[in-house]
Every structure is written in structure tokens, then in C-alpha cells.
Amino acid sequence: MRMHRRASYLLGFASLITFCSASAAFAFDSDGDGVDDVFDVCCNTPPGVLVDADGRPIGDFDLDCDNDLADFAFYMLGFTGPLSGPTTCTCVSSIDCDDGNGCTVDVCTFGACVHTDAGAGSSCDDGDACTVADVCDGSGTCVGVPTDCSGLDSVCTEGVCNPSTGVCEVSVYANGTACSDGDPCTTGGVCSGGTCVSSPLGCDDFNPCTLDACSAGTCIHAPLTGNACDDGMQCTVSDVCNASGICEGMEVDCSGLDTQCADGACVAATGLCDIVPKPDGLGCDDGDINTVGDQCINGECVGTIP
């Protein structure tokens, strides 16, 4: 019975060899298992087939999944148990073992996939559009250097990489975000539409006799000597700025109203000249030779007739 079974397998094997050889003339890999039909024991049996009770892949003679024709010879010599290797073929060739990781070397060994780390520094692709110079780290991981978008940075913008395109784009900070335009003579900067908007540093001393300016963050007040100004006094005229940055004017001349018993003086509220009596009893001369004891009374010189 066993010899009859072997004869049947032998006949089947010969048929398979004939079929595979004929198929090879048209397609090198009929079953897509990564093994050329000329070397494939069963060119229509895909990888991963289960074994039968004797340890043989069902419909195949590859006992240990190594795609070796010698397995058939072992069977014909009476071997009925499985050879070394898995009981389920996970691969026939290394092409079946591709794990999609560019940092591993994928090999099919006796029907089992073995994945070893590629050498550190090997070129790879980490799948991230926003990294460059991707290389293997020696532990099976692909590592890239983040794309540098700092060339687009400003006080109110940030350069960021678009993960869909890998292209650097400008990201604008929210309006109202505090910023500094780098000018020490400005203050209160805030972002507006990607631009830092600031206000000039307040250096105005409200003095018309100085020129106010900011230099390196310090307020400078230069005198405007000789410039016309207004000292705010009604009783001065011809007001001008002096060398100290102070507005000065000449007092209004009211001397034309002076007498022995009164002085001409400017009224601060109006800027007009007015008579201011001298103290009563102050001696004076009324110009009358017929009077004696002349003295000032209410701003007038009054004498007494003897």
C-alpha cells in the first residue's frame, strides 16, 4: 500500500516537474511565491500551506519549507516525519519576508522569516515628509532630522513644515500677541497680521524750548536757544528760549507812570500798566512854595498852607 502511494507521488512529482517546466516558458513564477517555476517543487502551491499528519506540506514534498527537491528523495526513502523547520511554511523566499521596515534585513530561513537590524547609518525613509537625511539607528528604527524652517521665523511668525508636502510655510501668531520689534525707542509692541506694531517711547517733556528725541532707549532734550516761546506770563514780552531750554521774557515797562507817591506796575491778570500808590506819609514835594509838610496821601503829594 505504501509502495503504491509512493509510486503515485512519484508520478505526481514527475507531472509537476513537467507542468512547471512548461509553465516556465510563459511565466517564471506561476503562483507568485517568489520562486521561479523551474525550481519550485509545486509551482501552484503558495507559501504558508499546512502540513499533513506525516509532516509533509499538503500537495507538496517540501517537508521543511526550504524549497529543496531533496525532501522528495527523503520521502521516497521512507522518511515519514517532518524535517527541521516549522510545521507551517511562513515563507518560501526572502521576498515573502518584507516587513516594510527599511532598517531590517529580511531573510527566509527554512520557511521562517528572520529580520535583523540593518547597519547604523544605512539610508532609509521614515515616512515623515518633514524630516531629511533619514538613516537607520542600528536598532531597526529609521530616524530623520526635522526639516529646518527657522528661516521663516520672525517676532510674529513661525516657520513650520507642512506634513502633507514637506514644504516650509509661515504660521502667523494671533493678533494681540506681545512682541518686540527690537527698537529700544519703541514700546508696547503687539502682533497684527504677522507684523509687530509698536508705539514710540514717550519723550515729550512738553517744553517748547527743547527738541525731544530718543537715542538707544534714552530720551534726550536739546535746547532750542533763541526760539520764540511763551512763558505764560502776561507781564512779559518778547519771550525767547535761553541756552538752558527755559522760556524767558522781558518785563513790561510801566515806569512811565512813576511819580513821587506812586509806581507804575503791570497787572499780572491783564498785562496792562497801572498806578500803585506808595505808602501814605512818605515825604514828597508838591512843587508849591507856599506849602509845607508835603507828604504822600493816596498816591498824591499833598502840602499844608501855613
**Residue-wise pLDDT tens digits, 6-55:** 444 444 444 444 444 444 344 455 555 565 544 544 434 444 444 443 34
What's the pLDDT at 78? 52
What's the pLDDT at 110? 77
Domain limits, the chain: 2-76, 94-146, 149-201, 255-304
What's the pLDDT at 15? 44
Average pLDDT (197-216) is 96
Of 62 and 251, the one with more pLDDT = 251
Is residue 306 predicted with pLDDT exceeding 50?
Answer: yes
CB 227 within 8 A of CB 209: yes
Is residue 283 predicted with pLDDT exceeding 90?
Answer: yes
Summary mean pLDDT of the chain: 80
What digits encode the pLDDT tens for the residues 178-189? Answer: 999 999 999 999
Is residue 172 predicted with pLDDT exceeding 60?
Answer: yes
